[in-house]
Chain A
Amino acid sequence: MERQMKQVDVLVIGAGPAGLAAAIAAKEDGIDNLLVLEREHNPGGILRQCIHNGFGLHRFKEEFTGPEYAQRDIDRARELGIEIQTDTTVLSVDGDHTVTCVSSAHGVEVLSAKAIVLAMGCRERPRGALGTPGTRCAGIYSAGTAQKFVNLEGYMPGKRVVILGSGDIGLIMARRMTLQGAKVLACVELMPFSSGLNRNIVQCLNDYDIPLYLSHTVIDIKGRERLTGVTVAKVDENRQPIPGSEIEFDCDTLLLSVGLIPENELSEGAGVKLSPLTSGAEVDDVLQTNVPGIFACGNVLHVHDLVDHVSNESFRAGHAAAAYVRGALACGETIDVRDGAGVRGTVPQRIRKGVNESVDLMFRPSGVFRNATCVVTCGEREIARKKAPIFTPGEMAVIKLKPEIVASLDETVTVTIERS
């Protein structure tokens, strides 16, 4: 029954912004035997449902909505003649670069690829991961699921909404639900700071007078069939509810925006080593994982705030995959990159020794730091420094290492945030 094993040079898993960018870069580098596998019916990934504006300012110096941003890459991929096989789900990836996928059009296919780019994106943390007590009624959705219902299917999941978590998708959905005719009663955040971008607090909550309750959480969920209400309480420094601070909300919908998790089940099957901090692969400066020839980029690697960063990172992965296929990718000794004080989950986790290319170090600050400085050292030697009015976990921080600095690395690199 199985077809003969198909051979490809570069196989990209996922046709969201990361996969498209990686494929475009590889193709532009001359890789013609290139295949992109996409589980949905259309390429574009999650951008298809992100109909709001604010995408592409860095990359295109112009502001797009999600579908417009995705279309740019889709058009470019078509122009280059890149084959995107949609409606196809990858079932497994092996460490020897064998990939098994299934589709109704082609059945089960087993492919062998010289290089693989993992670009599967991420998923939302569900209610169960929070351990929130209360009934299991209808009306509780992750923000992205609600976004799909509204923006791609044209249905309203509810009319009176409370949002738990202040991640960007939650904030964006607060505005979307309001604009489309629902009433958003509150956005509730466990931490004393928002995990979303500041601009989204302003234009999604403040513009519509939606209150943001920091240091609060949902402690009870009511309604036997459909949600009828939630109880919100203030939390103390240990994030425990404070008795007597309860507020009751009469609502039919609870949207959760409590974090994103890279989708790495396929990567694990391939023997890719994951970082417990990012939940994504550990990679070097060209996004290569511990498994030679397997690269990872975009939200499957670490959760980004900006699609522009996803695209840039993925171009790099695509170029590297092409170089790997041609046997032109320098691999050898690497220098470790470590998180210092105030820093969590720096990507890449290692830098190849002696390469003469710039490297962007990306990480999440572990707390809120005002007027602070990010300092990068190599052993005792300071190699980069960047001041910012604010570092917060809600915004990924990026610090660039110049080519000559990268070329000179000889000891472990440490990234630290210093308070002024």
Chain B
Amino acid sequence: MYTDILIIGAGVTGCAIARVLSRYQASIAVIDRGNDIAEGASKANSGIVHAGFDAHPGTLKAKLNVEGAKMYPALCEELCVPYQQPGALVLGFSPEDRKTLEKLVEQGKVNDVPGGRLIEREEVLAMEPNTNPEVVCALYAPTSGLTSPYEMTFALADHAAVNGVQFCLHEEVEDVVRAQDGLWHVTTDKGEHTCNVLVNCAGVGAATIHNMMSDDLLHIIDRRGQYYLMDRMQTLPFHMTMFQCPTVMGKGVLVSPTVHGNLLLGPSAEDSDDELDTSPTAEGLRFVLEKSRLTWPKASVRGTITNFSGIRAHEQKGDFVIGAVKGQKNAYEAVGIESPGLSAAPAIAEMLGGQIAQEMGLEPKAEIVPAIKRPKPFHAMTTQERAEAVAKNPLYGNLVCRCEVVTEAEIREAIRRPVGATTIDGVKRRTRAGMGRCQGGFCSPRVAEILSEELHIPMTEVTKCGGESRLLVGNIHDAMKEGC
């Protein structure tokens, strides 16, 4: 298949770039080895829209974080993605921490972060009374925000798709060469793509792709971050994101509400030798819990509903690598997009997308779909809105996920949206069905039935996350026959 532009990677970066480029007259495809959008780090991170204190002044991380964070409120509004700005505290427990925090405040000024000041123990405890009373001081970052990273990525993909971008999922790139025709030939496990311009946003796989195109080798370190997610509570112990002082390994362990009212603890940070191994480990989870207690002495596994991990793509020089691939024509990349990658994604997309459009001389389309309208989730509706929704579409009256209050109408919509769900996990991340305290125990059989109906596949072909991840191995009759 030929497209003018081929983007490798359907994470938040790739989808954001696809969305920016979809405004121009060009054929565009996004390819990803994952079975769905956001299968890499974009589905498993803290969901924080960082204010921008952490990154060293002068780096791309600093510039794009601050720019990206400023774009978030409007972008989330435009794409109907949850966004909140509860603010954050970075806690200090020692004189050394105070020095670090003072430095952060200064750094924030240089980085052009709005607000931010050092506050003392009393003020910390007044703001967040469940904080470890041994706290000495804290950096208060009023503009720190929260979003749902995978919902943001799905929305970016949907918006790109309605403006003509094609998505090729579950397809892994095996080789990239520039052929004599001047085009890039991208060989995958399913066939071949050709394109004029190649954009590498492949996350943990980005160095591999880069090194297929360039002699100026990049090295990505796969750094795993593990998390505990806690059940929603009547009142959360913290309403802001609670950071600890940053270390060389990252931002430390945070305790933060999520946009959906859960509490997130994590991440750990351990270098991994497998870019796809997202299994939480006993040591990693123990580390998260122990470190969380520095912020929140009462942290315990009681109330946790799941744990997960994601792999951050850490480029060894430490900064984002964004722009044209050195020594190559018509090749661009956004590599080493680790934290604050989610915060920076909208700005990365404008920067790189803008550069590509300019250098290719792309003309804007006469007409585009300016925003996508997503229905309000049933759980967020008022009683009156719910009554109206059911009156219009009776499937809103069939509650499927009782923990997160998700209806049949929403599950069908999630499958039918532009880049729709094809798996149980896909439905879960788009609708929250199965995200709650029973973790799909009650609703997964019904979700599987709906997937089977919508996708016209037998129940035994419904998967959790694509590939061989089938839920069921057969019917009882065959099993009885075989068993005999």
- Bind each other: yes
In the bound complex, residues from chain B placing their C-beta under 8 Å from that of A225 are: 463-469
Of A110, A133, A155, A265, which is within 8 A of B475 by CB?
A155
Is there an interface contact between B383 and A135, defined as CB atoms closer than 8 Å?
no
B356 within 8 A of A: no
B388 (CB) vs chain A CBs: closest residue: A1
| Complex alpha-carbon distance, A145 and B442, angstroms | 7
Task: Say whether chain B's binding surface is mostly helix, strand, loop, or mixed.
Answer: mixed
Decide: A1 near B391, CB < 8 A? Known: A128-B439, A157-B472: yes
B384 within 8 A of A: yes
B380 within 8 A of A: no
In the bound complex, residues from chain A placing their C-beta under 8 Å from that of B387 are: 1-2, 107-108
Decide: A126 near B305, CB < 8 A? Known: A107-B391, A108-B390: yes
Size category of the binding interface on chain A:
35 or more
Is there an interface contact between B280 and A134, defined as CB atoms closer than 8 Å?
yes
In the bound complex, residues from chain B placing their C-beta under 8 Å from that of A150 are: 476
Decide: A128 near B398, CB < 8 A? Known: A156-B479, A226-B469: no
CB distance from A153 to the nearest CB of B (A): 6
In the bound complex, residues from chain A placing their C-beta under 8 Å from that of B480 are: 180-181
Of A105, A180, A252, which is within 8 A of B476 by CB?
A180
Is there an interface contact between B466 and A145, defined as CB atoms closer than 8 Å?
no
Which residues from 105 to 147 on chain A have a C-beta closer than 8 Å to any C-beta of chain B?
A: 105-108, 110, 123-124, 126-129, 131, 133-138, 141-142, 144-145
Is there an interface contact between A133 and B279, defined as CB atoms closer than 8 Å?
yes
A137 (CB) vs chain B CBs: closest residue: B469
Is there an interface contact between A144 and B441, defined as CB atoms closer than 8 Å?
yes
Decide: A158 near B473, CB < 8 A? Known: A126-B439, A129-B304, A180-B480: yes
| Complex alpha-carbon distance, A258 and B338, angstroms | 37
Decide: A107 near B476, CB < 8 A? Known: A126-B441, A131-B301: no
Of B399, B441, B477, which is within 8 A of A142 by CB?
B441
A32 within 8 A of B: no
B399 (CB) vs chain A CBs: closest residue: A89
Interface 1/0 per residue, B451-484 and A, CB below 8 Å: 0000000011001111111111111111111111
In the bound complex, residues from chain B placing their C-beta under 8 Å from that of A65 are: none
B438 within 8 A of A: yes
Decide: A154 near B475, CB < 8 A? Known: A128-B305, A138-B469: yes
Residues of A in contact with B (beta carbons under 8 Å apart): 1-2, 39, 87, 89, 91, 100, 102-108, 110, 123-124, 126-129, 131, 133-138, 141-142, 144-145, 148-150, 153-159, 180-182, 219, 221, 224-226, 252, 263, 265, 268
18 A-B pairs in the complex with CB atoms less than 8 angstroms apart: A1-B391, A39-B399, A87-B398, A91-B405, A103-B397, A103-B398, A108-B390, A128-B439, A133-B307, A134-B279, A135-B278, A138-B465, A145-B442, A149-B472, A154-B476, A156-B476, A157-B472, A180-B479
Beyond contacts A123-B437, A134-B279, A138-B471: 7 other A-B pairs, Cβ-Cβ < 8 A, are A133-B279, A145-B445, A155-B475, A156-B474, A181-B482, A181-B483, A224-B467
